Every structure is written in C-alpha cells, then in structure tokens.
Structure 1
Amino acid sequence: MSDQPEDKEPRRKMVKAPTGGNLSGRSKGHTAVKTAKFRTQSSAKWLERQLNDPYVQQAKAEGWRSRAAFKLIEIDERFNLLHKGAKVIDLGCAPGGWVQVAIKRGASHVVGVDLLPVDPVPGADLLEADFTDPAIGPQLMDLMGGKPDVILSDLAHNTVGHKQTDHLKIMGLLEMAGDFALDNLKPGGAFIAKAFQGGETEHLLLKLKVTFETVKHFKPKSSRVGSSEIYIVAIGFKG
C-alpha cells in the first residue's frame, strides 16, 4: 500500500554493500536543503531529513531498499520469529525492504502484495494489487502454497488531510490485516503489524489476545523521532 511520509521512503534499487560503516559515523555533518521554486517547503524538509537520517544512509550502504528494513530487523532480534525455512506473507510490501529482511534471515518463501510495483526479489512472489480487494487474499494463499508461519503488515494509505478520516482508514487496514492473519496463519505462527499510538486498537487486540499465546507492543529504535507508529507483535497462534 502507499506509505505515509514519516515511515517510508521512495523505492530505490539495491546497491553494493560497503566493507564497513555504522549508524553513528556515516554523516560528516548536517546537510541543509534550500527551498527552490520547484520544491515545496514540506518536500524540502522531507529531503533534508532523508539526507541527514543515518538509517537512510545505512540502508543505502547495505543494499536495503528502505530504512524500514531496520525496524523488522529490530523486531526479529527481539522476538526471533523469522526462523530458517519460515513461510512469510508481507502485506504492504513496497518497496521490498521487509521482503529482503525475511529472506536474508532464513525465510524459504515470501509472498508480498502492494498497490505499488516492487522490483523482483529472489525467493519472493510479489503481487501488485489492492489488498482490500476480497479476491486478493485467496491469491496470496495460492502463491504461498500453504499456511504461512509469519504474516507481516506494514500497510498504510495516502492521507487526505482530514484527521478523523485518515485515522479510520488506518484502523480499517489494520483490522483487515488482523482478520487475514486469524484466517490463514499456521498454528504456532506470528503476526506483526504497524499500528499507531492512541489508535483505537482495543477490538483487534482483544481478538489477538484470545487467539495468540502472547501479544506485545514494540517500538523500534529506528522509528523516526516524533513518529507515533508502534508495532503489534502477536506470537503463538492457537489456530
């Protein structure tokens, strides 16, 4: 699905990883961006943030398609869900960073879907489609060829600028992702989904707490400062 500005970057192609480098020492200083006639103030601020974001720089250096890859890496280092041979479905997979991470950490097969096109990733079947279309869920399961061990959701939508409307759309996507997980996960499986602090997630959390052994909230360090995003991590699906 389309990404919200605070969480995702435009798609970029993989680059060759360097022999060194780390998150704390890649930038030589703050880069300021002037507002040109062809650039709005908001886009100039976004570009400045990108140029000075160490996670953006590290993603480019290591060949990840977006800084969001580090969020899933942090989640998996904390909960150890992407085990070797795991089958994974990624909802809202563009530009493909989470798909890359899942395969890198041992997944045997990844199926992803997004409204936006995603460059191919070896070991993954990627579908350009609207997840909210009732026909897409069965297509994802057909491509998977069985029940997945992990379902990921980084779904977002294009904001319209009306707070209540945007909030309802966000919660609607989260609920749909949760229902898809409850209908299709393998027993013992896990569900990871982006939510937002202050969002009305009680109904979904209640369903998850009944059907999973453990349900946690997790805030990756790689989430942008000021971002209200948080991830729901549900482990041990009861089936």
Structure 2
Amino acid sequence: MAKEISGRGQRELRVKVKSARGRKLSSTLWLERQLNDPYVKRAQVEGFRGRAAFKILELDDKFRFLVPGARVVDLGCAPGGWCQVAVPRVNALGERKSKAVGRVLGVDLQEIEPLAGAETHTLDFMEDDADLKVKEWLGGRADVVMSDMAASASGHKQTDHLRIIALCEAAAYFAFDVLEEGGTFVAKVLAGGAEGDLQKLLKMKFTKVMNVKPPASRADSSEKFVVATGFKGQE
C-alpha cells in the first residue's frame, strides 16, 4: 500500500475513489468508505465474512453471553459473520474437550455458504410455526437469540427507522417463544424515539436491558444494539 512520509513519521494514505460514468455519488462514497474502513480490512485478514462480525465479537467481549454449551439462534444470519464468531465461543465444534459443546443455528430468507460448526436453514422467522421448527432443529430452547437484521432501505429516514424497529420487535417476540429462562436477546436497532415501546416490552420480559454502540459500529451510523439478559420465561 502507498505510504506518505512526513515529519511525524509514516502514515497510510487514504484511498480516493474516482467517480465513474454510470456510478452514483452515493455508490462512490460507499466504495471509498469500504476501502478505508479498518474493520473491512481486519475482516479480510482474519477470514470473517464481513465487518459486522466485529460488532457481535465486541458485544460478547463486554457481556459474555456466547459461553461454551450455549445454544444460539442467529436471525437473518447471511452472510454468516455472526455465526462465525459464535461457533468457537460456544464450542460448537467440540474442540475444547473440557468444555460443554454448544449449538449455532442460523436462519435467513436466502441460502448461505456452509459454515463449519453452524447449522443454517432457509426460513422466514415470521412465518407460522417458525419457532416450532427452530426448537425442533435445536432439540430444545435457545440460550441466545441474536439479530443483525435491517429492513430494506427506502431512502426515507423516518420510514426506514420504523421498519427496523418493527423488524426488531418481531425478532423479540420470536425470542420470547424460543428462549430458555435466563436467556439473552441481542438485536440491532436505530437510535431515535420510535423504539420506546420496544424498550418497555423488553424490560418487562428481561431482568436487564442495555443499549450499546460497539466500536465496530460506524460513528456516522444511527445504529445501536440492545442487549437484554435474564429472560423471565413464559408467562
């Protein structure tokens, strides 16, 4: 990579992307951001399927919910980065002989490339009996339900905000159906006023609800993550 020498020593040059015919300015800016994103580079070096892997890694480093023996459901799992992080942490491959062996189950509307240690299914988690299918595949209830899903962008900020809150609420209700008592729910939301009802709902169902913006979440993004621990169980 090109280097620049200054009086303060060496530093990496920022990659600039020239606009191209037929490419929108927004696409050019996105490409430039990707090329200069240290988490994108780390993902490539460390073999993760996307920079989003570092978000769940940092959240788990802080809250420790991906423990050996845990049964994990990843909603909207494509391309599989969160599953990649979960597999070694819950000991899904059984490589740590002295530790309990966990399970990682990913579901998505699209098929994803197979991942060692994770079981993936093409499934709409909002369809009837989806919770029953997941519990059947797991052989019981889950200890963790996590979601990095985002609704398709419409370009209208308020509409997109409401869509992602609705998607997160749907994921939360799914978690209520499949979580073991004491379980954890982790999901992406967008900062704003519309998530108030979701927060109230989670505080009723879990003993502790925290809102976090991990370092891997871009500073210019309005996303944050809710981590709800200590599921109180079915009423």
> TM-score range with shorter-chain normalisation?
0.7 to 0.9
Q: Is the 8 A contact 1:76 1:82 kept in 2?
A: yes
- Structure number with greater Rg is 2
Q: Which residue of 2 is the match for residue 150 of structure 1?
A: 144
1:150, distance to aligned residue in structure 2 (A) = 0.4
Structure 1 CA distance, aligned partners of 2:20 and 2:34? 17
Matching residue's letter, 1:90: D
Matching residue's letter, 1:197: A
Q: Is the 8 A contact 1:171 1:199 kept in 2?
A: no
1:208, distance to aligned residue in structure 2 (A) = 1.5
Matching residue's letter, 1:101: V
Aligned to 2:174, the other structure's residue is in SS state: helix
Structure 2 CA distance, aligned partners of 1:113 and 1:41? 34
Q: Which residue of 2 is the match for residue 138 of structure 1?
A: 132
Q: Is the 8 A contact 1:59 1:66 kept in 2?
A: yes
| Of 222, 226, 233, the match for 1:228 | 222
TM score, norm. by length of structure 2: 0.86
1:44, distance to aligned residue in structure 2 (A) = 1.2
Aligned to 1:207, the other structure's residue is in SS state: helix
Residue 20 of structure 2 corresponds to residue 30 of structure 1: no
| Of 87, 93, 118, the match for 2:112 | 118
More strand by share: 2
Matching residue's letter, 1:204: L
Matching residue's letter, 1:79: F
Q: Which residue of 2 is the match for residue 166 of structure 1?
A: 160
Q: Is the 8 A contact 1:88 1:110 kept in 2?
A: yes
Q: Over the residues paired in the alignment, what is the CA RMSD in angstroms?
A: 1.5
Residue 198 of structure 2 corresponds to residue 204 of structure 1: yes
Structure 1 CA distance, aligned partners of 2:45 and 2:160? 34
1:206, distance to aligned residue in structure 2 (A) = 1.5
Gaps of 5+ in 1: 1-26
| Of 47, 58, 61, the match for 1:74 | 58
Aligned to 1:188, the other structure's residue is in SS state: strand
Q: Is the 8 A contact 2:143 2:179 kept in 1?
A: yes
Aligned length in residues: 213
Aligned to 1:189, the other structure's residue is in SS state: strand
1:154, distance to aligned residue in structure 2 (A) = 0.9
Matching residue's letter, 2:72: V
Aligned to 1:149, the other structure's residue is in SS state: strand
Q: Which residue of 2 is the match for residue 42 of structure 1?
A: 26
Q: Which residue of 1 is the match for residue 179 of structure 2?
A: 185
Structure 2 CA distance, aligned partners of 1:195 and 1:173? 9
1:177, distance to aligned residue in structure 2 (A) = 0.6
After superposition, what is the alpha-carbon deviation per residue over 1:60-89, rounded to whole angstroms, capped at 9, x for unaligned? 000011111111111011011100011000
Structure 1 CA distance, aligned partners of 2:123 and 2:178? 19
After superposition, what is the alpha-carbon deviation per residue over 1:73-112, rounded to whole angstroms, capped at 9, x for unaligned? 1101101110001100001111100000001212521111
After superposition, what is the alpha-carbon deviation per residue over 1:191-232, rounded to whole angstroms, capped at 9, x for unaligned? 101111114122222121122111111110111121111111
Structure 2 CA distance, aligned partners of 1:162 and 1:145? 42
- Taking CA–CA contacts closer than 8 Å with sequence separation of 6 or more, which of the two structures ends up with the larger relative contact order? 1
After superposition, what is the alpha-carbon deviation per residue over 1:168-206, rounded to whole angstroms, capped at 9, x for unaligned? 221111110111111211011101011111141222221
TM score, norm. by length of structure 1: 0.84
Structure 2 CA distance, aligned partners of 1:54 and 1:164? 30
Q: Is the 8 A contact 2:162 2:194 kept in 1?
A: no
Structure 2 CA distance, aligned partners of 1:33 and 1:119? 30
Question: Aligned pair in 2 of structure 1 residues 163, 217: CA closer, same or farther (>3 Å)?
Answer: same
Q: Is the 8 A contact 1:71 1:221 kept in 2?
A: yes
